[in-house]
Structure formats: C-alpha cells, structure tokens
Amino acid sequence: MAAVALGFVIALMSSAIKNTVSVFYVSMSQDFSVSRGTFAIAPSVFMLTYAIASPALGFAADRMGARRSLAGGLVLGGAMFLAGGVVSSFALFSVVYGVGLAIAYTAVSYVPLGVLVDELFPPHRRGLTYAILMNGTAVGFIALVPLWIYVEHSTSWRTVFIVLGVVMVALMLLSLLLLPGEKRAPEETARAAEQAGRATGEGQTTGGAGAPARGGMFGAVLRSPVFWTVSLAFVGCGVTMSFVDVHLVASLDSHGLGGGTASTTMAILGAAEIVGSLIAGYLCDRGHGLKVLAGCYLIRALSLVVMAVAPTVLTAWVFGLLFGISYMGTVVAGSMYLLNSLDPRAKGLALGMMWCLHQIGAFVASEAGGLSFDALHSYDPVVIGAAACAGLSFLIVVTALPKALRKANPTHA
C-alpha cells in the first residue's frame, strides 16, 4: 500500500532530525564555539519541546487526521532544516532545532504515524504494520548514520541540513498526494472500539471505549490504569533512547571507539531494531504485549550494563545488537496497549501524553550526558543511570501492568 510505503519513508527521514545531531554533535559544538555541555542545551530543549507538544499534536491528529498532521510537520521540518543550516548564533540554533524541529518531529513521527495505522487497519493488524512503519527509524541507523559519519570529514553539517530541508518539502507534497484524506465515519469508529475490546487477548480494554467519556477525552486517558502503567515505564525508554540518540557516538569516541566502530555499532543497532520490531509487532498482534514490554526493558538494561562495564569494540557491537533488539519493542508494545484499549477519539491524545512522559526522561538524560562529560570527561554515570532506569521500567511492567489490565477489564482477570 502506498500509504504504508510513504509512512516508512517519512519515519526514515524524520529520524534524520535526531541522528544528524548525534553524529555531528562534536563538530556542531565546535562550529558554534561552545562546550559539549552547553551544546547539549539544544537537544535538551528539543526533548522538552517534544514533551510539551506531544499531547497537543496528538489531540490535533485525532481531530484533523494523520494526513494533515504529517503534511504540516514535513513543511515545518523543511523550513527549520533550511534555517538551521544558515544560522550562526547558537542561541538562535537552539530555538530553530530545540523548538521548531522538535515540533516538526512530533508532527511526523510516532504519534501521527500511530494514528495513521489506527485509521487504516483493524486491531489485529496494527502491531505489525506499526512496526513496519517504525522500521524507517531503524533504516536511519543502518543507512543515514553511517552516511553522516562518512561525509562528516568532507561535508559541513550545514550542507546536510539544507539538503534535508529540501527532502522534507518534497515529502510533504507526496503526503498530500498519496495519504488518505478522510477519517473513519463515526459508526466505523464505534465498530473499531468494539473490535478493540475483542482483539486483545490480555485484556487490553477499558470497557465501553465507544461511550462518551466523563470529563472529556483528557479525563478518559487520565483515568486509564493501563495508560499510567505503560507511560510511567515509558519514561525509562526515554532515558535510554536519549543516550543513544544524543550521546552514543560521542560516548564511543570518548573511549577511542569512534569512526568505523561507531558506524558499525549503529548499523548493527539498526539491523537488530528491524528484526526486534517485527517480532514485537507480530507478538503484540497475538496478545503477548506484556512479554514484549518486559523482555525489551530487561534486554535494554543488560545492554547498558555491558557498555558500562567493558567499553571495547566487541562490547560496543554487543550493545548495538541487544539495544537494537529492544529499541522499538517498547514503542510498538506500549503504543498497541493504548491504541487497542482507549476511546478511539482519544488515541492520538493518549499516545501524545505517553510520549510527553517519555521525553521528560529524554530531556533529563540529554542534559545529564553533556554535564557529565564536561565535569568528568566521561559518559559512564549516564550509562549506569540509564541501565537503572530500564531496570525500573522492567519492574513496573511485570508487577503493575497485569494489575492495571485486570482493573481496566475485570472480565479478563
């Protein structure tokens, strides 16, 4: 289907908003004549803006549909990439990247693509389809990150930003041409709510999803025990993802593992992410979301422990393999719990609120990484802290999520 293929490409190119800064982190900080700790302000503001914008843009995607959300985010992303490629002030760049590109990323990534999947597919096909779309991010690790590392020595990051700006605008035009422009009719939405209640073998329903919610959609989300359990665990996902997205390449470089080792590690991570996400999507569609979530958080914690204990070429590759397997599993499983359990009119809002909490964790980890290197010339404290957060998320899932599912739908207890 053209919409799925285009969604994949959008996910791929939107990943460049984050992985360009990860690869060019050192050269960009040198270009602006600021320390790594100071430069971390830009990606940290990005995380914070993403957190604030996620619920609002999720709500907008519920109302406008995925097509308009994606098109608007792509044109904004194109404009911000072009602006970011020419600004000379770090303060201005922090606004362009930390605010403008963060809003654009929010409008073209996980939340609206989740809404797109919800619009196009029934519950029993959403997990695998969402995983396929999100594999665009994995291909970003495999193809784009090594490309940025390769061109870093011959091409300015500013040139890369300008090229990406043009690509984003072109994708906006394609999205208007190829993505469906109509949302489901109200009666179809009601049927989808009923199907959601029957499609999940783990009780991923809140009961009466199609009924009007007391206190509006926001209140419906806040009253969901499944939302709170999944989202609180998802904070650990934000902490760990932020380390990879912002500091991994610089961390490897600080251990003398930059260049080819960093490129290979990211490629391994991306390849493992593809396999892991497809397995996660397949298992979620068959009612094994709890196992997927718990397993991914545990594997992620172990990968970070490996990285902290013995940073070598081999352990860097092992880290890439383990972290990659878990990278999208938490996203796919967490998103499926919300898409298949909440009122169809509040799914974008719920996803946005989940990502809001995710980005709070990401903000803390992003800033902590820069400050840690400035103070200690090491990222090890952040790696250890991220491992602890992933372990805590694992405990939340295995101890609290089964109770939340039984409370949400006692008939499946």
Name the band, by pLDDT with cuts 50, 70 and 90, for residue 32.
very high
Boundaries of domain holding 55: 2-406
d(CA 303, CA 297): 10
DSSP 8-state code for residue 155: S
371 domain residue, yes or no = yes
Q: Is the dihedral of CA 19, 15, 284, 273 positive or negative?
A: negative
d(CA 75, CA 256): 39
pLDDT of residue 318 exceeding 80: yes
For residues 241-263, give the mean pLDDT.
86
* Residue type at position 225: P
411 domain residue, yes or no = no
pTM of the model: 0.77
| Tens digit of each residue's pLDDT (9 = 90 or more) over 70-91 | 999 999 999 999 999 999 999 9
d(CA 369, CA 133): 30
pLDDT of residue 28 exceeding 90: yes
CA–centroid distance for 331 within its chain: 7
Whole-number pLDDT of residue 31: 94
Residues 6 or more apart in contact with residue 82 via CB below 8 angstroms: 161, 162, 165, 166
- How many other CB atoms sit within 10 Å of the CB of residue 228? 18
Selection from 413, 355, 303, 401 nearest residue 55 by Cα:
355
Percent of the chain having pLDDT more than 90? 52
DSSP 8-state code for residue 246: I
Whole-number pLDDT of residue 344: 74
Question: Per residue in 343-367, is it b (16+ CB within 10 Å) or e — as a string?
Answer: bbbbbbbbbbbbbbbbbbbbbbbbb
Between 81 and 192, name the one with better pLDDT. 81
d(CA 405, CA 202): 7
Between 234 and 120, name the one with better pLDDT. 234
Residue whose structure tokens are 């390769």: 150
53 domain residue, yes or no = yes
Whole-number pLDDT of residue 191: 52
Whole-number pLDDT of residue 410: 52
Whole-number pLDDT of residue 412: 39
Locate 132 and state its tokens: 């396929």
Determine the angle formed by the axes of helices 289-309 and 260-285, rounding to 10 degrees: 160
Between 385 and 203, name the one with better pLDDT. 385
pLDDT of residue 292 exceeding 70: yes
d(CA 237, CA 249): 19
How far is CA 222 from each of CA 48, 214, 302, rounded to the nearest angstrom? 21, 11, 32
Selection from 386, 394, 84, 45 nearest residue 242 by Cα:
386
Name the band, by pLDDT with cuts 50, 70 and 90, for residue 198.
very low
Between 200 and 403, name the one with better pLDDT. 403
pLDDT of residue 185 exceeding 80: no
| Tens digit of each residue's pLDDT (9 = 90 or more) over 117-171 | 888 888 888 888 988 998 888 888 788 888 998 898 889 999 999 999 999 999 9
204 domain residue, yes or no = yes
373 domain residue, yes or no = yes
Residues 6 or more apart in contact with residue 13 via CB below 8 angstroms: 136, 164, 167, 168, 171
413 domain residue, yes or no = no
122 domain residue, yes or no = yes
Whole-number pLDDT of residue 206: 41
251: CATH: 1.20.1250.20
- Please tell me whether residue 318 adopts helix, strand or coil conformation: helix
Question: What's the total number of domains in the chain?
Answer: 1
Region of poorest pLDDT, from 5-9, 82-86, 116-120, 192-196: 192-196
Whole-number pLDDT of residue 207: 40
pLDDT of residue 202 exceeding 50: no
Taking all residues of the chain, what is their mean pLDDT, rounded to a whole number?
Answer: 86
412 domain residue, yes or no = no
